[in-house]
Amino acid sequence: MRESFRWFGPPDRIALSEIVQTGASEIVTSLHEIAYGLVWEKDAIAARQTLVREQSGGRLEWTVVESLPVHEEIKLAGSGGRGDLETLYETYRISLRNLAACGISTVCYNFMPLLDWTRTELAHPLAGGGTSLRFNMQDFAAFDVFMLERPGAEADFAPDVIERAKAWIDASSPADRERLLTAIMAGLPGAYERYDVPGLREVLARYKGITKDDIRANYKRFLEAVVPTAEEAGIRLCVHPDDPPRPVFGLPRVVSSEEDIAFILDAVPSVANGLTLCSGSLGAGPANDVVAIARRFADKIHFAHLRNVAKDADGSFEEADHLDGDTDMIALLRVLLAEERRRKGEGRADWQIPMRPDHGHELLADLGRGTHPGYPLIGRMRGLAALRGAIRAIGAIDGSA
């Protein structure tokens, strides 16, 4: 598998020269500074490629885009969505062509309404030292029911979760509630301002009455508009699953399960319409068998995020070590490596699947460094080293790709 590392561009507190020392050879990044709905021009793409090469001493190459964002108007329901969708579709198509012209062919994106990933703790203390990201169901319910006061929110949680959420709110200080808001807002894409509670209520109101079927219909319309261009340009689009794979603040989620993925891939059948296999996002869903999902859709996996989570019975979860947690990472790697062997046997030049160690614990010198939540240097390097060792061991046993 091709080893990559996510970098958030020039503002990232982790230098490309440091990423070189992890042993990765490829960079996963985006032009985060470009507002949604605007074209990624060739000059801007090429400039970022040059920056990556120069600041890494020629040892790193930008090969995977994460993400080329889908404008929120495309996700909103209505007759063909809202706003001038054809302009937004064409902007997306031009950006895809420009990426292809610069030699970048893997584009990860998501279709999560408003929020990307959602956590309630950004620095949960670990027993052995360090911190992790964590999603506490009772804290999330406390925010949704008692801080946001979303109508009907109580129905989305078990009675015992509501009871514990009320106890949390009653015992919380203003600083506790502000920390919870900050953690939840950390999941907003970089192009978005962070909201206070009234501001979040206001933006959520735009989705009032929108159903999962509405979001699916708009997603299918988006795929019909852009996948033919991606296929023509040699681009592999690969959707990222919802994180967590459940409705958030009443917002429907449409990439949360095996059935959801099948709908997406069948909506517009094409080699250009594929999947980012995120073992952590899918693994947070109690009903999801990540290994079985990977096996079913192996030929459509264009990119892999490898991480693990440990789940609680109430739906809470936290980031685990990459080879631990609830997903059998060894079995998952076997599926991915077997698929690489199959592709290589077909004579494909692009038989290797790019992967990155997703998320990581804050450890040692990363503590207090202020890196992007979930993306410290040392924790991800540790994860990459563990995955690298497992991949080589599996290759020795099963037959190297």
- Active site residues per annotation: 240, 278, 305, 358-359, 375
At 351, is the secondary structure helix, strand, or coil? coil
What are φ and ψ of residue 179, in 5° steps?
Answer: -65, -40
Distance CA 120, CA 143 (A): 9
- In the chain, % helix, strand, coil (3-state, to 5) comes to 45, 15, 40
Residue showing tokens 């062919």:
105
**Contact by Cβ (8 Å): 349, 297:** no
CA–centroid distance for 331 within its chain: 21
The tally of CA atoms less than 13 A away on the side-chain side of residue 296 is 14
Q: Quick one: which H or E segment has residue 47?
A: helix 42-55
Distance CA 107, CA 85 (A): 20
Residues in the chain: 401
Distance CA 84, CA 87 (A): 6
**Contact by Cβ (8 Å): 150, 204:** yes
What are φ and ψ of residue 98, in 5° steps?
Answer: -65, -40
Measuring CA to CA, which residue among 256, 312, 317 is closest to residue 282?
A: 256
Rg over CA atoms, the chain: 20
**Contact by Cβ (8 Å): 63, 24:** no
Distance CA 137, CA 161 (A): 7
Distance CA 53, CA 61 (A): 6
**Could you tell me the two tokens for 385?**
């080293």
